[in-house]
């Protein structure tokens, strides 16, 4: 049985939808960054800093970081449940992935917002 994608329960449809949404966010962020770098080939630290001083860019970057973590988590969870059969090994692997994801988010927030 397929459940609604708006439910908070874990379902295959919800995972599929989240993968697509996060991939779209990551695509738009990557295209923007590549375009910005190509249009500003002699960019220095001051211009780079000015780009990330804006609240909109910080929020967009935070959205990209959260999307990357969600995308990676769903992917690694799917791979680990398919290919790592021993429960203990799968638990360790998923715990390590979760810890790394948390560290990356905290690190990204510290870099973006200077906390």
Q: 22: burial class by Cβ within 10 Å (0-12, 13-18, 19+)?
A: buried
CB 71 within 8 A of CB 26: yes
Asked if residue 72 is part of any domain, the answer here is yes
CA dist list (Å): 54 to 9, 51, 107, 111: 36, 6, 19, 14
Structure tokens at 7: 């439910």
5 within domain boundaries: no
Confirm or deny that 83 is annotated as ligand binding: yes
Range of the domain at 21: 12-114
Q: How confident is the model at residue 10 (pLDDT cuts 50, 70, 90)?
A: low
For residue 9, is pLDDT > 70?
no
Joined tokens for residue 19: 């993968």
Q: Is 60 part of a structural domain of the chain?
A: yes
Q: Which CATH number covers residue 60?
A: 1.20.1300.10
Q: What is the mean pLDDT of residues 92-99?
A: 94
Q: How many domains does the chain have?
A: 1
Terminal Cα-to-Cα distance of the chain (whole angstroms)? 45
pLDDT in tens, 55-86: 999 999 999 999 999 999 999 998 999 999 99
Residue 8 confidence (pLDDT) above 60: no
Q: Is 71 labeled as ligand-binding?
A: yes
| Structure tokens, 65 | 């970081």
What pLDDT is recorded for position 31?
98
| Residue 2 in this model has a pLDDT that exceeds 60 | no
Q: Establish if 7 belongs to a structural domain.
A: no
């Amino acid at each position: 049985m397929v459940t609604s994608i708006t439910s908070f329960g874990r379902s295959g449809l919800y995972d599929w939808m989240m993968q697509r949404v996060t991939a779209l966010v990551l695509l738009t962020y990557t295209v923007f960054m590549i375009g910005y770098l190509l249009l500003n080939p002699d960019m220095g630290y001051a211009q780079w800093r000015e780009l990330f001083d804006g609240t909109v860019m910080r929020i967009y970057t935070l959205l990209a970081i959260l999307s990357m973590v969600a995308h990676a988590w769903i992917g690694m969870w799917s791979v680990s449940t398919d290919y790592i059969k021993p429960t203990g090994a799968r638990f360790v692997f998923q715990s390590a992935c979760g810890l790394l994801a948390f560290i990356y988010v905290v690190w990204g927030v510290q870099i973006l917002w200077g906390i």
